[in-house]
Amino acid sequence: MNPATGTRSLVVMGSLLIGGLLAMGGLGWIGGGGAFSPTGPIPTTAETPRGKGGRLPPARPAWVSPLQPSCSIQDLAQRQHVQALLAALRTAPKKVQVDPTNFGERFRRDAFGQAVDPTPRLVVLHETVYGLRSAIHTFRTPHPNDEDQVSYHALIGEDGQVIQLLDPSKRAFGAGNSAFNGQWVVTNPKVGGSINNFALHVSLETPLDGENNNPGHSGYSSAQYDALAALLADWIGRYPIKPENITTHQAVDLGGERSDPRSFNWQALQERLQNLGLLC
């Protein structure tokens, strides 16, 4: 037990500690702060920075979603259960205050003065690597140094508990140097761009046997997949997020160092979103 947080201990894991505590949440110095004000009109379409000093992200294979289109409801009981979770999520959300150093406002202009669309249109899946309460303690702790700043919009515990950390209108520091299908936003001209300005971030609590640098673990609980489906249903209902734009930290990371969420079961998510009618 961790006497500071009353939860599972934070395991010192060499390179995975970097990938878990900080980098899995993103390098805040890429996504946050800077001398640029997130002001100006919101454009009607998403734009990738071009010209005027703007930079395109490096070429890489396009994301191909494991989620398949389907209009077939296979499990009515599961559908009703997740719908009940969605209703509870909307009427009685569980919230935790994140320290202001760990998140920012969404930018409406990039580092080169070009208009960018801050509307969330991408969801990035992560894992905590360590216990839920340790993660919450990290987000509530002030981090004056940019490289320590980290946050997600929501956490999902092993028991299916959803903790909402940030309103989706805010920019979480969830991914550092990152891009999605040729899109990023550069908010600091000295470094690469990031997907944080148009992304929502959710992290699944890692099982105890995953507090290490192994390539996989025992996987996430059924309750976590139920809760994740409910949360995604809420976000998809509020923002122009397509199911094929649900991706992973590993997929958007440009450094090739991230592997989260390890052991993710896409079929489990497929079944739940399909039963909700969100893949039709």
Instruction: Enumerate the domain spans of the chain.
Output: 15-39+94-265
**Residue 70 structure tokens:** 């389907």
The token pair that represents 141 in the structure block: 């702790």
| pLDDT tens string 200-219 | 999 999 999 999 999 999 99
> Percent helix, strand, coil in the chain (nearest 5)?
30, 15, 55
Q: Reply yes or no on whether the pLDDT at 102 is more than 90.
A: yes
Cα separations in angstroms, 6 against 2, 122, 224:
5, 34, 22
Q: Dmax over Cα atoms in the chain, in whole Å?
A: 54
pLDDT band at residue 188 using 50, 70 and 90 as cut-offs: confident
Task: Classify domain 15-39+94-265 by CATH architecture.
Answer: 3-Layer(aba) Sandwich (3.40)
Residue 32 pLDDT level (bands cut at 50, 70, 90): very low
**pLDDT reading at 6 higher than 60:** no
Question: Mean of the pLDDT values across residues 7-25?
Answer: 36
Query: How far is 113 from 108, CA to CA, in rounded Å?
Result: 9
Pairing outcome for strands 122-127 and 103-105: unpaired
Question: 54: pLDDT confidence band, cut at 50, 70 and 90?
Answer: low
Pairing of strands 170-172, 199-204: unpaired
Query: How many C-beta atoms surround the C-beta of residue 48 within 10 A?
Result: 19
Tokens (6 digits) for 201:
């971030």
Phi then psi for 3, rounded to 5 degrees? -65, -20
| pLDDT, position 115 | 96
Please give the pLDDT value at position 4. 31
**pLDDT of 98 higher than 90:** yes
The pair phi, psi for residue 178, each rounded to 5°, is: -150, 160
Residue 276 pLDDT > 70: yes
Nearest to 153 by CA among 142, 140, 161, 163: 163
- Indicate the average pLDDT of the chain: 84
> Is the distance from CB of 219 to CB of 205 less than 8 angstroms?
no
User: Residue 154: which H helix or E strand, with range?
Assistant: strand 154-156
d(CA 25, CA 119): 20
Give the residue-averaged pLDDT of 179-186.
97
pTM of structure: 0.83
pLDDT at 15: 31
